[in-house]
Amino acid sequence: MPVTVVDHPLVRHKLGILRQDGVSTKSFRDLAGEVARLLTYEATKDLKTEKKTVQGWAGSVEVEQIKGKKITVVPILRAGLGMMDGVLDMIPGAKVSVVGMYRNEETLAPVQYYVKLAKEIQKRTALILDPMLATGGTLIATIDLLKEAGCKKIKGLFLVAAPEGLAKLEAAHPDVHVYVAAIDERLNEVGYILPGLGDAGDKIFGTK
């Protein structure tokens, strides 16, 4: 399974602030969006372009434009929303497919409560957004449903991933390309990533 750790000084710096206990809701939200933009830069490197001639200031000039533009961004509710605006800043024409999943706190199993996919999803590349790739259960369930809907090319963008979640994803969906700012040490006994960021949803929404 292809995994790209977006190892860049800006990403490492921003992640360092995200990790700090007591970081404000505003800073966490802003930084999650900024790292999402940088992940998007990497995750869109294979987009095809086509040549076009436009009128420039000194006459006609050949430029390039993205071909096709068939992308859907798939934030997993609710924490994935914290990355969505950053990604859409980079790909403003992308359609949004929303997937609502939460983890049963006892079993850690994913429970689906809302799905609204973009039209013609089978023709689109899906960029799944979730700040934390922890156990991988929610992510795998989301990929299952995207594939059932006919989606053929799927990538996942995460701020932090746990080795356990990556291994589970590799076993279930080895074709999915992962883009992540950092791979951390491990999960704790309740499925949180260590050292991680804590509860990313609570930090983005200011609910703790």
Q: Is 128 one of the binding residues for ligand URA (CB under 6 A)?
A: no
Q: Is 196 one of the binding residues for ligand URA (CB under 6 A)?
A: yes
- Cα–Cα dist 38/6, whole Å: 8
And the tokens for 33? Answer: 């969006």
Helix count (H) and strand count (E) of the chain?
Answer: 6, 13
And the tokens for 36? Answer: 């999402």
How many residues sit close enough to ligand URA to count as binding (CB under 6 A)?
10
Task: Supply the minimum distance, in Å, between the C-beta of residue 108 and ligand URA.
Answer: 10
- Answer for which of 28, 158, 179, 192 binds ligand URA (CB under 6 A) is 192
Q: Is 165 one of the binding residues for ligand URA (CB under 6 A)?
A: no
Neighbours of 169 (CB within 10 A): 23
- Answer for which of 84, 134, 139, 178 binds ligand URA (CB under 6 A) is 134
Of 202, 203, 166, the closest CA to residue 186 belongs to: 166
- Answer for which of 87, 132, 139, 169 binds ligand URA (CB under 6 A) is 132
- Answer for which of 32, 43, 169, 193 binds ligand URA (CB under 6 A) is 193
| Cis ω before 75 (30° cut-off from 0) | no
- Interface residue list for ligand URA (CB under 6 A): 79, 132, 134, 191-193, 196, 199-201
